[in-house]
Amino acid sequence: MSVLDREILSLMRRASEEAIMPHYRTLSASQIENKAADDVVTVADRAAEDLLCEGLARLNPGIAIVGEENVHANPQVAELLSGACWIVDPLDGTNNFAKGEAPFGILIALADGGVVQSGWIYDCITGRFCAAHFGEGAYIGGERIKAGTTGEVPPVAAISLVFLNEERRAVIKREIAPHYRLVDIPRCAAEQYPRLALGENDVSIFERTLAWDHAAGSLWLNEAGGKVARPDGSPYRVNEWERRGLIGAASPELWQAMADLYPPEST
Q: What is the pLDDT of residues 120-131, one digit of tens each?
A: 999 999 999 999
What tens digit of pLDDT does each residue of 175-207 get?
Answer: 898 999 999 899 999 999 999 999 999 999 998
Examine residue 151 and state whether it is found in any structural domain, yes or no.
Answer: no
Q: How far is CA 235 from CA 41, 107, 228, 229, in A?
A: 29, 20, 7, 5
Q: How far is CA 247 from CA 71, 73, 235, 255, 263, in A?
A: 24, 29, 10, 7, 12
Q: Domain end: 145, 164, 181, which one?
A: 145
SS3 content of the chain, % helix, strand, coil (to 5): 40, 25, 35
> What is the predicted pLDDT for the residue at 85?
98
Examine residue 235 and state whether it is found in any structural domain, yes or no.
Answer: yes
> By CB neighbour count within 10 A (0-12 exposed, 13-18 middle, 19+ buried), where does 166 fall?
exposed
Same-domain pairing of 235 and 165: yes
Helix (H, G, I), strand (E, B) or coil at 196: helix
Which are the contacts of 81, defined by CB distance < 8 A and separation ≥ 6?
Answer: 66, 87, 111, 114, 211, 238, 239, 241
Same-domain pairing of 123 and 240: no
**For residues 172 and 263, is the Cβ–Cβ distance under 8 A?**
yes
Q: Domain end: 145, 165, 194, which one?
A: 145
Instruction: State the CB neighbour count (10 A cutoff) for residue 141.
Output: 13
> What is the predicted pLDDT for the residue at 267?
39
Report whether pLDDT(100) > 70: yes
Residue type (1 letter), 18? E
Same-domain pairing of 24 and 134: yes
What is the domain extent for residue 137?
A: 3-145
Same-domain pairing of 116 and 45: yes
Number of separate domains in the chain: 2
> What is the predicted pLDDT for the residue at 266?
52
Comparing 267 with 86, which gets the higher pLDDT?
Answer: 86
What tens digit of pLDDT does each residue of 206-259 get?
Answer: 988 999 999 999 999 999 999 999 999 999 999 998 888 999 999 999 999 999
Report whether pLDDT(39) > 90: no
Report whether pLDDT(172) > 90: no
CA angle centred on 10, ends 6 and 13, rounded to 5°: 135
CATH code for the domain in which residue 18 is found: 3.30.540.10
Question: What percentage of the chain carries pLDDT values higher than 70?
Answer: 99
Average pLDDT, the chain: 94
Same-domain pairing of 200 and 135: no
Examine residue 150 and state whether it is found in any structural domain, yes or no.
Answer: no
Same-domain pairing of 110 and 214: no
> What is the predicted pLDDT for the residue at 16?
98
Same-domain pairing of 112 and 193: no
